[in-house]
Amino acid sequence: MSTPTNIIVGLNAQSTLKAGSYGTSEAQATDLGFIKGGITIEHEESAYEVKVDQCLGIIDKITTAESLKIKFSLAEATLANIALAFGYASPASTTFEFGDKSSETYKTLYINVKGPSGASRKYTFWKCRPTGKTSQSYKRDSETLVEVEFDVLCDTSKDLNKRFGKIEDILSA
């Protein structure tokens, strides 16, 4: 049976993307501002194919690796957002100095978007690390966007089935 209310169309005014230090609650995380072009969440698995002599086909697949990647373009090219994209702590002043990656800055990401059937959908990714792949273009009469890409890492402090994060649909009261 088709359910038209399950069709989700884009970000809305209530959509947010927040980042905090690893383990930070959503209330303590920083809203990253406006997003251009949406948020992409990529999931990929690698599997070992099980074959036996008595059968011509594959009889099973066993997952050997799983990965998640989150990509978005921040429309607010603040120093804090550039530092986030580069994988550094947010600058404390009007100057962002970088070059020492001796300490990792893992983040917890919170994404709130429209969900199906009038619900809100909340994504929580526990342990994320910028991939180091970013760009900013300064072009005449064009917006400057901060391209950001995160790898979601396994958080081994969580139960096995929760190590990447969680997705919740929250119905309106």
Most distant pair of Cα atoms in the chain: their distance: 69
Phi and psi based region of residue 86 (left: phi greater than 0; alpha: psi -120 to 50; beta: remaining): alpha
Give pTM, 2 decimals.
Answer: 0.87
Each residue's pLDDT expressed in tens, for the chain with a length of 173 residues = 677 777 777 777 778 999 999 999 999 999 999 988 889 999 999 999 999 998 899 999 999 999 999 999 999 989 999 999 988 888 888 999 888 877 778 999 999 998 888 888 999 999 999 987 888 888 888 888 999 999 999 999 999 889 999 999 988 76
| Tokens encoding 45 | 């698995």
What CA–CA distance (Å, rounded) separates 52 from 40?
Answer: 38
63 forms beta bridges with 47
**C-alpha distances in Å from residue 74, one per residue of 6, 31, 71, 86, 94:** 27, 11, 10, 13, 19
> Residue 173: its pLDDT value, please?
64
**Residue closest to 112 by CA, chosen among 6, 4, 13, 20:** 13
Which residues touch 128 (CB under 8 Å, ≥6 apart)? 19, 70, 106, 107, 108, 109, 150, 151, 152, 153
Handedness of CA 16, 17, 23, 27 (dihedral sign): negative
**Residue closest to 88 by CA, chosen among 23, 27, 148:** 148
